[in-house]
């Protein structure tokens, strides 16, 4: 987004966020669509704590897929992949696994 | 706001439809268009407008089989007006564009068509190539595919959120697929017509939770053509014509429906048959709510048990099997079936008494459109 869609200000820039959020919705994919992701894997929309409606698409890791639920508190963890770091999410440290 | 629409559906046509037909999609397109011309009693020389979705190109293999120029070259049409693109109000946005064109007097008879050959294309390209490219719009693709998000992910996330928010269940969602399969039995066009039970549904393979294989429309090959005409250009034809009362063109189920209802004195309670989009079963729930047949969160109980949406129910739904059982003819199927029911041509799946008002809706999320039809 090169500008703010609400006030049309061009004074916008990337901002650091905490990496904390909650699972807004999720699905357990039982199909191998891409080589790197053997099923089952969890695709989730995570809503970041900074702003209602601010959601990112991600995978939930470090948790049995059947234990994922809407509202689960999660935190980001970065997976190195080539020259990028892919933002994945895992249950927050104080959340019982 | 009153909208002086002046448009009728004068011709309906289909090609052969099936799985893995291995036919040239141009041939399928020509079959459907010629059938629609014949149905309307028109010749290609009468056609002065052409409209299609999504045009000749798309990233998903087999997602489109012909564009406007192809249709003109196939049939020898010289249009005064044409339109073919993907950013329209749902797949039937190509039809609502035609409604506007004939109402404005820019064209008299617009040939609308949609051709798919995904079933055959996936033989060469593979299923994964199809679903990872079929994610609707660019941001989702960029930010979703690295996480294994595909076309079904969007529907699955919607369904999971709905189940959580309203306490709905797979047993309730099953009614969409079971009703479609039941109605498909009497539709010669439908690709899956064998009976299906609730136990079959509940035992089916999960694709992306909570959606199972029967919640997802199967790719097919086929083409549907629909001719939209200005009523002043139809002369004193004895042929049955279906009036397009209103068009829903907003972005979103409710937004599209509200615009449609704002153009007419007809309301949801007047609708005799509903052909709502079912690319994934959950979308039918969201359309039933968006169109005002029930309140948000009530679709699960609205369809529970299946009697209300059956052919002899208060609101017959997916009377030809929908995309879930008739196949992914991608939007045009719903318009075709609505018109077929209004004309009383439904054969063993005809709703009685013959419906006088029908709604057809297409698409999902913000790619949405609907039509209100009467006869």
CA-based nearest residue to B172, from B300, B276, B317: B300
Q: Are B25 and B39 in contact (CB under 8 A)?
A: no
Among the partner residues B161, B205, B208, nearest to A70 by beta-carbon distance: B161
Both structure tokens of B361: 């809706």
* Residue with the two structure tokens 């629909």: B226
Return the pLDDT at B87: 95
Q: How many CB pairs under 8 A join A and B?
A: 70
Which residue, among B122, B137, B148, B164, would best test binding to A if mutated, counting the most A CBs under 10 Å from its CB? Answer: B148
Both structure tokens of B321: 């099997």
Query: What CA–CA distance (Å, rounded) separates B327 from B139?
Result: 28
Residues whose CB falls within 8 Å of the CB of residue B316, separated by 6 or more in sequence, listed in order: B272, B273, B274, B309, B310, B341, B351, B355
Domain ranges of chain B: 8-122+221-244, 137-219+250-374
- CA-based nearest distance A49→chain B, Å: 19
Residues 6+ away with beta carbon under 8 Å from B162:
B168, B282, B285, B286, B300
CB-CB under 8 Å, A43 with B160: no
**Backbone φ, ψ for residue B231 (5° rounding):** -60, -30
Decide if B157 and A33 are in contact by the 8 Å CB cutoff: no
Residue A86 contacts residue B146 (beta carbons within 8 Å): yes
Tell me whether B213 touches chain A (CB under 8 Å): no
> Looking at residue B130, what is its pLDDT?
64
**What is the rounded CA–CA span in Å between residue B64 and residue B55?**
7
Question: Where do we find the tokens 């895992």?
Answer: A90
Helices in chain B by DSSP H: which ranges?
25-40, 68-75, 93-103, 118-125, 127-133, 138-144, 151-166, 170-184, 198-203, 253-261, 281-290, 299-303, 322-326, 332-342
Given this model, what pLDDT does residue B106 score?
A: 97
Q: What's the number of CA atoms in the CB half-sphere (13 Å) around residue A50?
A: 11
B131, B140, B208 ranked by CB distance to A27: nearest? B208
Q: pLDDT of chain B along its 375 residues, tens only?
A: 556 899 999 999 999 999 999 999 999 999 999 999 999 999 999 999 999 999 999 888 899 999 999 999 999 999 999 999 999 999 999 999 999 999 999 999 999 999 999 999 998 877 766 666 655 445 556 778 889 888 899 999 999 999 999 999 999 999 999 999 999 999 999 999 999 999 999 999 999 999 999 999 999 999 999 999 999 999 877 777 899 999 999 999 999 999 999 999 999 999 999 999 999 999 999 999 999 999 999 999 999 999 999 999 999 999 999 999 999 999 999 999 999 999 999 999 999 999 999 999 999 999 999 999 999
DSSP state of B362: E
Cis ω before B212 (30° cut-off from 0):
no
Asked, colleague to colleague, whether B8-122+221-244 and B137-219+250-374 share their fold, the answer is yes
What pLDDT shows up at residue B3? 66
Interface of B with A in 322-351 (CB under 8 A): none
Distance from CA of B360 to the nearest CA of A (A): 29
Q: Of B221, B220, B203, B224, which Cα lies nearest the Cα of B212? A: B203
Mutation pick from B130, B138, B160, B206 vs chain A, by most beta carbons of A within 10 Å, is: B160
Q: Inter-chain contact A33–B132, Cβ cutoff 8 Å?
A: yes
**H-helix segments, B116-227:** 118-125, 127-133, 138-144, 151-166, 170-184, 198-203
What integer pLDDT is reported at residue B134 of this predicted model? 52
Fold adopted by B8-122+221-244: Peroxisomal Thiolase; Chain A, domain 1 (3.40.47)
> Residue B212's closest chain A neighbor by CA?
A30
| Furthest CA-CA distance within chain A | 44
Sequence-separated (6 or more) residues with CB below 8 Å from residue A37 = A29, A59, B147, B148
Q: What is the pLDDT of residue B190?
A: 98
Strand partners, A67: none
The whole-angstrom separation of Cα B252 and Cα B277 is 13
Write down the pLDDT at residue B137. 47
Return d(Cα B158, Cα A26) in angstroms, integer: 9
Query: Cα separation of B353 and B357, whole Å?
Result: 12
Q: Is the Cβ pair A28, B208 closer than 8 Å? A: yes
CATH of B137-219+250-374, one of 3.90.420.10, 3.40.47.10, 3.30.70.141, 3.40.800.20: 3.40.47.10
Instruction: Give the tokens for residue A22.
Output: 């909650």
For chain B positions 130-149, those within 8 Å of chain A (CB to CB) are 131-132, 140, 143-149
> Using an 8 Å Cβ cutoff, are B37 and B129 in contact?
no
What span, in angstroms and rounded, lies between the C-alpha atoms of B117 and B5?
Answer: 33
pLDDT at residue B1, rounded to an integer: 52
Q: Which residues of chain B have a CB within 8 Å of the CB of A34?
A: 128, 132, 145, 148
The residue with tokens 């009728």 is: B8
Report residue B60 CA to chain centroid gap.
18
Q: Whole-model pTM?
A: 0.96
Tell me the C-alpha distance between B126 and B235, whole Å.
49
For residue B109, the surrounding DSSP H or E stretch is: strand B109-117
Residue with tokens 């972005």: B251
**Contacts within 8 Å (CB) and 24+ apart, A31-40:** A31/B207, A31/B208, A32/B128, A33/B128, A33/B131, A33/B132, A33/B148, A33/B150, A34/B128, A34/B132, A34/B145, A34/B148, A36/B148, A37/B147, A37/B148, A40/A65
B239 part of contact set with chain A, CB < 8 Å: no
């Amino acid at each position: 987004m090169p500008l703010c869609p609400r006030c049309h200000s061009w004074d916008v820039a990337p901002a650091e966020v905490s990496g904390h959020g909650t699972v807004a919705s999720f699905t357990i994919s039982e199909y191998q669509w891409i080589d790197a992701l053997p099923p089952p894997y969890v695709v989730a929309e995570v809503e970041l704590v900074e702003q209602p409606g601010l959601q990112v698409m991600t995978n939930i890791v470090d948790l049995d897929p059947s234990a994922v639920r809407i509202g689960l508190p999660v935190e980001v963890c970065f997976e190195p992949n080539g020259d990028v770091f892919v933002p994945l999410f895992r249950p927050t440290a104080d959340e019982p696994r | 706001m009153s909208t002086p629409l002046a448009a009728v559906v004068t011709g309906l046509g289909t090609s052969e439809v099936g799985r893995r037909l291995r036919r040239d999609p141009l041939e399928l397109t020509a079959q459907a268009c010629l059938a629609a011309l014949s149905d309307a009693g028109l010749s290609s020389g009468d056609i002065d407008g052409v409209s299609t979705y999504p045009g000749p190109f798309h990233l998903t293999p087999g997602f489109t089989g012909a564009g406007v120029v192809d249709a003109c070259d196939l049939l020898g049409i010289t249009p005064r007006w044409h339109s073919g693109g993907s950013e329209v109000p749902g797949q039937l946005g190509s039809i609502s564009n035609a409604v506007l064109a004939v109402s404005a007097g820019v064209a008299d008879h617009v040939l609308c068509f949609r051709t798919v050959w995904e079933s055959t294309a996936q033989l060469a390209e593979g299923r994964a190539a199809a679903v990872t490219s079929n994610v609707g719009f660019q941001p989702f693709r960029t930010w979703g595919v690295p996480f294994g998000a595909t076309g079904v992910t969007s529907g699955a996330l919607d369904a999971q959120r709905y189940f959580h928010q309203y306490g709905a269940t797979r047993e309730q969602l099953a009614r969409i697929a079971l009703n479609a399969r039941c109605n498909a039995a009497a539709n010669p066009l439908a690709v899956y017509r064998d009976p299906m039970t609730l136990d079959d549904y509940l035992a089916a393979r999960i694709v992306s939770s909570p959606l199972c294989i029967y919640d997802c429309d199967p790719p097919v090959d086929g083409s549907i053509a629909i001719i939209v005409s200005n009523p002043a250009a139809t002369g004193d034809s004895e042929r049955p014509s279906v009036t397009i009362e209103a068009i829903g063109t907003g972005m979103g189920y409710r937004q599209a429906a509200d615009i449609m209802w704002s153009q007419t004195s007809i309301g949801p309670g007047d609708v005799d048959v509903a052909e709502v989009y079912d690319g994934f079963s959950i979308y039918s729930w969201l359309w039933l709510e968006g169109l005002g047949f029930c309140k948000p969160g009530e679709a699960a109980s609205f369809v529970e048990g299946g009697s209300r949406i059956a052919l002899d129910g208060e609101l017959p739904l997916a009377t030809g099997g929908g995309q879930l059982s008739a196949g992914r003819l991608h939007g045009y199927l719903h318009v075709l079936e609505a018109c077929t029911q209004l004309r009383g041509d439904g054969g063993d799946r005809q709703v009685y008494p013959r419906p006088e008002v029908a709604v057809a809706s297409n698409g999902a999320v913000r790619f949405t459109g609907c039509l209100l039809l009467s006869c």
